[in-house]
Amino acid sequence: MVNNIYPWQSEQWSHITKQYHDDTLPHAFLFTGLKGIGKLHFAHSLVAFLLCEDKKSSQACGECKQCRLTIAQTHPDFRLTEPEDGGRIIKVDAIRSLVEFFTLSSLQGGQKITILCPAEALNNNAANALLKTLEEPAGHSLIILISHSAGKLLPTIRSRCQVIDFDTPSPKLAREWLKGSFDGERVPSEAELTALLNLSFNAPLKAKEYASLNALAENNQMLDELASLLKNDCLASTVSNRWDDDLFSLRLAWMLRWLEIILKLRMTGDEVEIQGQHGEKMMRYLAEKCSEQQLLSLYRESLTQYRLFLGSSNPNKVLTFEYLLFQWLKLMT
């Protein structure tokens, strides 16, 4: 039997498999939640369960013909729809192809399923084309939309799906899973585990990815460089040029995380997340010196730049970082 969901997803699994047994599955799901908590993995497990021809209670058997096709990623009645060639946009041609996929009869005699991820990558034409499919679902079909930012979706798309929210696991559960995930690898120290989870907003899979990228060391170096910049010991242009690399989107996300920690300390006095944090002295100084309005303004500017990068535009990375670093410098005036 196969049930590969993560331990923090049992409630959602029980809910959906009950719907299956009660014959009340919708024609479309929208899985929402923070990136890095396993929504895509859950969706693939659900596909395997639904396509399995020898289900064991609420699990796929893992051995039948349908399961073997699913495991081999060759099942003709399943399609993964995502941005092409490492891009950030799902275009209308992909949705037209998906519509054609659903109009054809099932080759294995069961359900036809697609996972579309991330749903916010749909451009306007693609979103409108998908909406028509959601309004007039084809036969025995299921569309699973996965979104890391559901607020970006058309309200009409959200309203035509059954929304399943995925929360981040409890800190205890996230730590236990992360600590046990380093099979044959060096297990990070307790302090490193805490830092990885803080950096990833308590998303365990993202924390594991950060560990593989040696992200803690890079995050710490960024904090040191920012501290040097605020003390006028280096130039914004020097820092922004070094930050212009493949970690660009992660760097923007980390800057947002720093601001959240500073804002939390400023607005609530909560020191839990800042204690032992690399750059703690600088963050405490900014939380005491700056007004909430200043910090919120910088947060909004940073979030705008982050969203621009995730969207269809192709911003200049160096100029983006220079602009944001100058906004940080304004905090010192």
**Rounded Cα gap, residues 299 and 174, in angstroms:** 26
Q: Which pLDDT score is estimated for 2?
A: 56
**List of residues 6+ apart from 329 with CB closer than 8 A:** 229, 230, 236
Lay out the sheet containing 112-116: strands in order across.
78-81, 112-116, 141-147, 28-33, 162-166
Which distant-in-sequence residues (6+ apart) come within 8 Å of 49 by Cβ? 17, 20, 55, 58, 59, 60
End-to-end CA distance of the chain: 62
- pLDDT tens, the chain, 333 aa long: 456 899 999 999 999 999 999 999 999 999 999 999 999 999 999 999 999 999 988 899 999 999 999 999 999 999 999 998 777 899 999 999 999 999 888 888 789 999 999 999 999 999 999 998 898 877 789 999 999 989 889 999 999 999 999 999 999 999 999 999 998 788 999 989 999 998 898 999 999 999 998 899 999 999 999 999 999 999 999 999 999 988 888 999 999 999 999 999 999 998 878 888 899 999 999 999 999 999 999 999 999 998 888 776 678 999 999 999 999 999 998
Distance, in Å, from the CA atom of 7 to the CA atom of 11, rounded to the nearest integer, reads 9
pLDDT for the residue 1? 47
By CB atoms closer than 10 A (0-12, 13-18, 19+), residue 80 is middle
In this prediction, residue 107 carries a pLDDT of 87
How many Cβ atoms are within 10 Å of 233's Cβ, its own excluded? 9
